[in-house]
Amino acid sequence: MLQETKQNHKEMNKVIEQQRQYRGSISEARGALGGIAKIWNQGIWNCILETINQHWIKTTLENKADQQAIIIYNIYVSHHCKDKDSFWHDLKDSLDIEENTKIILGGDFNLILHTR
């Protein structure tokens, strides 16, 4: 999982295509902000489903050896984001519909827990 690639779709695709055994998903940068990418080994994983929005790439991968599925969220929320409440509600809604599936959340949430 890569965050803040600061790359457009075409530039990130070049990077992924150079890795012959890998595939990937891209949510391109918006100006100088963000950009996320996820890359997986296609010899080990099949991509079953993916959802890309401005805050995450959600990918359901199935292991070719045992057909076990895993959902991976690659998250990037800009520190400039004014709609963080909306992001959290959208993420909760997305997580609530998943049943009996292993889920990994990773990325850059740009959260401030305490100010002094």
Q: What is the DSSP string of 72-104?
A: EEEEE--TT-S-HHHHHHHHHHHHHT--S-EEE
- The predicted-structure confidence for 15-52, as pLDDT tens digits, reads as follows 777 877 888 888 877 777 778 889 899 999 999 999 99
Count of domains forming the chain:
1
**Is the residue at 114 inside a domain?**
no
- Of the candidates 50, 51, 53, the one whose C-alpha atom is nearest the C-alpha of residue 77 is 53
**Is the residue at 38 inside a domain?**
yes
Site of tokens 């049943």: 99
Q: What angle do CA 89, 92, 93 make, to 5 degrees?
A: 85
- Determine the pLDDT at residue 20: 79
**CA pair distance 95, 79, nearest whole angstrom:** 22
**Is the residue at 96 inside a domain?**
yes
Confidence of residue 116 (pLDDT cuts 50, 70, 90): confident
pTM over 0.75: yes
- CATH of residue 6: 3.60.10.10
